[in-house]
Amino acid sequence: MSERLIQSIERAADVLEIFLTTNSELSVKEISEKVNLSKSTVHGIIKTLEHRGYLQQNPDDLKYRLGIKLFELGNFVGKHLDIRSIARPIIKDLVNELNETVHLVLLNRNEIIYIEKEDGPRTLTMYSHIGKRAPVHCTGVGKAILAYLSDQEVDRLLSIQNLQPFTEFTITDKQAIKNHLQSVRECGYAVDDEEIELGLKCIAAPIFNHQGNVIASISCAAPKIRLDEERLPKVIAGIQKAASEISKALGYKGVMQR
């Protein structure tokens, strides 16, 4: 990276981000161990973050948790993330049409993150929720994005991913994944056929911005038994149509593959 990074801000970000993957409350000692910094350094960072409202201390056990300021910032970002407001009515229409759960995701760093989810009327228990992160190599939404990135970016993402198998159907070989992405580009949609969760099938399509770059994807998720050969064409058509509508609303001028 050519930009000059400010170490103190990097360290503060590290402290905040450990709360995303660990207990909701942590002591100074626990934080120090997790970010591999001295307790004195961590204490200074924590007190600064606490002063600005990004962390708050529990008076009962003196441990720290995320503060209200992060909620305020997150709420602001959510309200002003245009793709969500643009996509939401399209997603609702699609859920009404298909009677299945629909997701909207973005690529964030090396994973996908679910930024919108509308549940269908039929109960479906699955791993996803808004804010949830998931790998790109074995999710329909992840593969729908991967397929339209440059070869160099795909190589980079696959080289740093832990291509772990979640089920017996997960593709973990890099070349096999690349071959699969080629088929995604040819048909214009991606399929997760029990790759991340047994019994679950997802159909996903890419979303492009005004510059023609893939920035997100949308999917329909349902028990595999409900996405049989008879119903599949309707689901694929619905997902591709919704992806096209969102892309056009974002200024995309190209032709979506059908």
Which secondary structure element, helix H or strand E, spans residue 220, and what is its range? Answer: strand 214-223
Handedness of CA 107, 211, 2, 49 (dihedral sign): negative
Distance CA 106, CA 136 (A): 10
CB 49 within 8 Å of CB 55: yes
How does DSSP assign 16-66, residue by residue? HHGGGSS-S-B-HHHHHHHHT--HHHHHHHHHHHHHTTSEEE-TTT--EEE
Distances (CA, A) of 174 to 95, 162, 163, 170, 181: 34, 11, 8, 12, 11
- Alpha-carbon Rg for the chain, nearest whole angstrom, is 21
Q: What is the pLDDT of residues 167-184, one digit of tens each?
A: 999 999 999 999 999 999
Closest by alpha carbon to 14, among 38, 39, 31, 27? 31
- 3-state DSSP call for residue 233? helix
Tens digits of pLDDT across the chain (258 residues): 446 889 999 999 999 988 877 768 999 999 999 999 999 999 999 999 999 999 999 999 999 999 988 888 877 666 555 788 899 999 999 999 999 999 999 988 788 889 888 888 776 666 667 878 888 998 999 999 999 999 999 999 988 888 889 999 999 999 999 999 999 999 999 999 999 899 999 999 999 988 899 999 999 988 988 988 889 999 999 999 999 999 998 888 877 655
